[in-house]
């Protein structure tokens, strides 16, 4: 790729991602049947997953995006969260599903979940394509998980290093 990073090793293939998104979409369709589903994608990493997932959910739904920033060093989150872009829509009374690319420390999502619950939704649940439980600093679990991944610097399918490799159709890690 002509880059200083080697991301050639495939951890999760494009086909594995597609198959798992199909399964998650089918499960969410069953779980939220008859409810007022509202997806909230966390920018920027969730975009490929959210785009694929929403097309696999066979229900009427609403969607929006939020952008949040965690303060701390480049590789470690402190849990101090700043909302860069908030929702454009009201979620009161709706069943909210936060769509995330990866849960690592859990600090940002714990804050975000509490923040959104204060707005009076019917429910707030989490879905993540990747879960890295070895990095957890708070007790937070995703209601839906695509894959559990090892404690490596994961890239692809929305995840980046220096804003690059989000467009890889598979999950790799930086060697």
**Side-chain half-sphere exposure of 129, counting CA atoms within 13 A:** 31
For residue 80, tell me if it sits in a domain.
yes
Q: 151-175, pLDDT tens digit by residue? A: 999 999 999 999 999 999 999 999 8
pTM: 0.92
Distances in Å between the Cα of 48 and the Cα atoms of 21, 35, 82, 159 are 11, 24, 23, 9
CATH number at residue 139: 3.40.50.2020
**Mean pLDDT on 66-91:** 78
Q: Is 36 a catalytic residue?
A: no
Q: Is residue 159 part of a domain?
A: no
CA distances from 47 to 1, 62, 66, 109, 114 (A): 23, 15, 11, 16, 22
Q: How confident is the model at residue 2 (pLDDT cuts 50, 70, 90)?
A: very low
Does residue 45 form part of some domain?
yes
Q: How far apart are CA 160 and CA 175, in angstroms?
A: 13
- Catalytically annotated residue among 52, 101, 104, 131: 104
In a domain, 25, yes or no: yes
In the chain, how many domains are there? Answer: 1
Tokens of 175: 């060697």
The pLDDT of residue 69? 83
Quick check: is 50 in a domain? yes
Question: Tokens 């994961």, residue?
Answer: 154
pLDDT tens-digit profile of 85-132? 999 999 999 999 999 999 998 988 999 999 999 999 999 999 999 999
pLDDT of residue 100: 97
Residue 99 lies in a domain: yes
Domain ranges, residue 66: 18-150
Place of tokens 């480049």: 74
């Amino acid at each position: 790729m002509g880059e200083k990073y080697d991301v050639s090793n495939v951890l999760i293939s494009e086909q594995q991602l597609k198959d798992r998104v199909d399964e998650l979409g089918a499960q969410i369709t069953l779980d939220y049947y008859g409810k007022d589903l509202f997806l909230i994608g966390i920018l920027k990493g969730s975009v490929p997953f959210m785009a694929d997932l929403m097309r696999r959910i066979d229900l009427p739904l609403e969607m929006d995006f939020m952008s949040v920033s965690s303060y701390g060093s480049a590789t470690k989150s402190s849990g101090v969260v700043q909302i860069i872009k908030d929702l454009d829509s009201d979620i009161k009374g709706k069943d909210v599903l936060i769509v995330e690319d990866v849960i690592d420390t859990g600090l940002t999502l714990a804050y975000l979940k509490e923040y959104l619950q204060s707005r009076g939704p019917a429910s707030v649940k989490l879905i993540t394509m990747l879960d890295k439980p070895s990095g957890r600093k708070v007790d937070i679990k995703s209601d839906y998980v695509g894959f559990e991944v090892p404690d490596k610097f994961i890239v692809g399918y929305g995840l980046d290093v220096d804003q690059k490799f989000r467009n890889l159709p598979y999950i790799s890690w930086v060697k």
